[in-house]
Every structure is written in C-alpha cells, then in structure tokens.
Amino acid sequence: MTGNSSNGHKRVVVTGIGAVSPIGNNVNDMWASLIAGESGVGYITSFDTTDFETKIGAEVKNFDMTAYLNRKQAQRMDRFTQFAVAASLQAVQSAKLTIDPSNAQDIGVIIGNSVCGLLSVSEQQKILMEKGPDRVSPILAPTMTGDAAPVQVSLVLGAKGVNFSISAACSSGSDAIGQAYNFIRLGGAKVMVAGGTEAPIIPIVIAAFNNIRALSAKGDNPKQACRPFDAKRTGFVMAEGSGILVLEEADYALKRGAPILAELVGYGATSDAFHLIQPMPDGASAISASKIALAQAGISPEEVDYINAHGTATLLNDRTETNVIKSVYGERAKKIPVSASKSMLGHLLGAAGSVEAVISLLTMERGIIPPTINLTNPDPECDLDYVPNTARKAEVKTVVSNSFGFGGHNSVLIFRKYAS
C-alpha cells in the first residue's frame, strides 16, 4: 500500500497505547507478565465471597489513581472510569500528543464498556436502603452511566471532538476502536482516543454470571483456573481493567512526528441474531465479520501472522472460534499462531477487546507471541497452534484480534506494520 489514502479513505495509524490490567498497571509491566506466562487470577479481595460459589477473579492490584489525578477528582469517578482515565493518559503520553485549543476540536473519545458504574450503584443502593433517599450521593448520576468514562477522559484531556460510549458486551472495546477508525478514515476526526474499560468484580455481577454457569469456580489453584482450549476448562474468570489506543489520520501523525506503532487496516462487525448467551453453532456471523475485516484490509489469509483469540475458556466459545478460524483461513489455519490472553488476564468484558488490541500491537512491535497458559490437555476439537504455555519469538507483520461477545456481537480488528 502506498500513499496515505486508500479508495478515497484516510489511512489510520496507532500512535499510542495505555493499559491497566490484572497483570500490570501499565503497558510494560503487563507485557513482562504476559511473556513470562504469569496469571493475574487470585481470590477476590474486594468483597466477602463466603456465600459465593465463585471466589476467584482477576483484580487490578495496587492501583493508585492519585498517580494521575488529585484525590478529589478521583473520588468523583467510578472505578471503571478511573481505569479509563489512567489508560488514556498513558496512551496520550506514549503518542507524544499535546492537546490544546489548536487541535482540541479534531480529537474525539470513544470508550466502550458493558456493566458501567454498577460498583457505585451497589454502594449507593445500600445507603438508600439503610439511610433513605436524601443520603444518596448527587455524584451518582454522572458516575454510574455508560458515558461516564469517555466524558471524564474528555474533560481530563481537553478533547472536544466526538464523544460517546459503546456497549456491545465483550466486543465493546473492539467496537469502540473500530468506530473510531471509521471516524478518522471518513474524515470526521484527526485523532481518536478509543478503547474499553470495566470494573465488574462486585457481588451482583459475580452472582449473575455464576448463575448462568459461565464462571470458573475452580478455587484450589486460582492461577490455573482459566484454561482456554483445554479439555479441562471450567469457565471464564471475571477481570477488570482498561485498554486504550490513540488512533490518528496517517498524514496528521507524520506531520507532527508522532511515533507510529502500526496501521489499523480492517474492522468487521456482525451480529449472530441467534441467542442471548450462546454463539451461533456454525459461527457463520463471526466468519462474516472476519471476512469483512480481511476484505477491508485488502489482505489474504496467507498474510496473517498471528491471531489474538477471544478465547474465553468456555466450551462453546472455544470450539466455535476454532471452527471460525478454520473456515476463514482454510489450510493456513493450522500454521497461524493463535493465543488467548485471557488465560492470564481473565475476561475483562467490555475492556477485553481493547486490552487484547494493545497486546496484539505489542506482539507485532516486539516480535514475541504471548502464550496460552494452562493448556495441558488440549480439547481434541480445538486443534490449532495455540502457543501453549511458553512465549514464542516470531516476525509478525499482520495481526488479527477477535472479539465475540454475549448477545452475538462479533468484532474483528486487523493491524499491520505501517509502510509509507
């Protein structure tokens, strides 16, 4: 590809990344844990799990929001918003982006999430029941809503372009990145701060997901609980955190001398329209999302060097995703390394796709594929190269990141090394 436009559309590059995760509160710490195969899963510490079947989760550890904002600012945010602000500030700093009145209108924010500010709602519900409606915090209204994260990021950064949230279950973060990509390529923005954020490790959410038998209740060794593509998988592990990308129109990034990490070349999104929870058995809509992304990118299956799988460690998802990859990539499927970051991170719901996008970019930049840990007894129906247990050095020029969510949301992102 030559030039910085394609079919009349602007080319879109990634110039900055940020992350807060169960295995590191910044990009470099997260990456070090990933390539070492370290799990962030442990016993839940944020509430008493005595009466809960599921007692494990992948919590963010030692997170201090006052490293980013003063205490008063931090207290006006739900935990899911704090994560988004922290990751966004990291991403903007890594992009070497200064936002001021000269460019503020050209910079937008889209951040996805799934459960919004339920932590704040749960806390204030208790106050309501114990002390009455007059004691409910007036701050609850602007902190519990789905748009609280992009609003606060916009306020902190001073970004005055398009600003909204996306909720698409486990595809939310990927869809936020995909929609930001569309804004730039169609000329609606020069820069977008985009990704996902989530803080779902609270009693009501754990109880709800446990009662649909989605969560792993394996408690004897939490770090081995999340086992994507393994025959002894027991369900996914709830996690929290945020992943944020800075996307820019290529010419704009080049003019300001920004560091270009990669180019976002394809985005495909479809719906199963099949079931509230289960994926479509034949994966037809997920296959379509993959093919849409490949067609938009203008690349063939032979050019894909790595796939970051949705890989939830649930039987239906693992097998369906395996079949989707086989259907899309044909004979090449078994030659493409595929790994599931959730084996270490747990499942960050609406932030999963964006954190995995960050990981996909790091894989390309640093030439190391993170492993799928806890893969010791492969499911016979999951027979691809899942990079079991040990990271692998590899030249990676093109990466696919899959997100397949509850409700039938299918989102696929494709990143490629930038070539002018």
The contacts of residue 267 (CB under 8 Å, 6+ apart) are 177, 178, 181, 182, 292, 293, 296, 411, 412, 413, 414
Structural tokens at position 20: 């807060």
Q: Distance (Å, rounded) from C-alpha 242 to C-alpha 352? A: 8
Alpha carbons 135 and 131: distance in angstroms, whole number: 6
- How many residues comprise the chain? 420
* DSSP-H helix ranges across 300-341: 315-329
CA-nearest of 307, 330, 329, 332 to 229 is 307
Q: Which residues pair with 165 in a beta bridge?
A: 111
Element (H, E) at 120: helix 118-131
User: In this structure, are residues 230 and 379 in contact, taking their beta carbons and an 8 Å threshold?
Assistant: yes
- The C-alpha angle with vertex 234 and arms to 270 and 378, in degrees rounded to 5, equals 80
292 burial (CB, 10 Å; 0-12 / 13-18 / 19+) is middle
Helix (H, G, I), strand (E, B) or coil at 350: helix
Q: In which residue are the tokens 């559309």 written? A: 9
Tell me how far apart the alpha carbons of residues 394 and 390 are, in angstroms, rounded to a whole number.
13
What span, in angstroms and rounded, lies between the C-alpha atoms of 235 and 347?
A: 10
Amino acid identity for residue 384 in this structure: L
Q: Give Cα 51 to chain centroid, integer Å.
A: 30
Pick the catalytic residue: 116, 347, 382, 409? 347
Q: How many CB atoms lie within 10 A of CB 249?
A: 23
> 116, 226, 310, 409: which one is catalytic?
310
Contact 226, 218 (CB under 8 A): no
Q: How many CA atoms lie within 13 A of 171 on its CB side?
A: 24
Can 310 be counted among the known catalytic residues?
Answer: yes
Q: Which amino acids are annotated catalytic?
A: 170, 310, 347
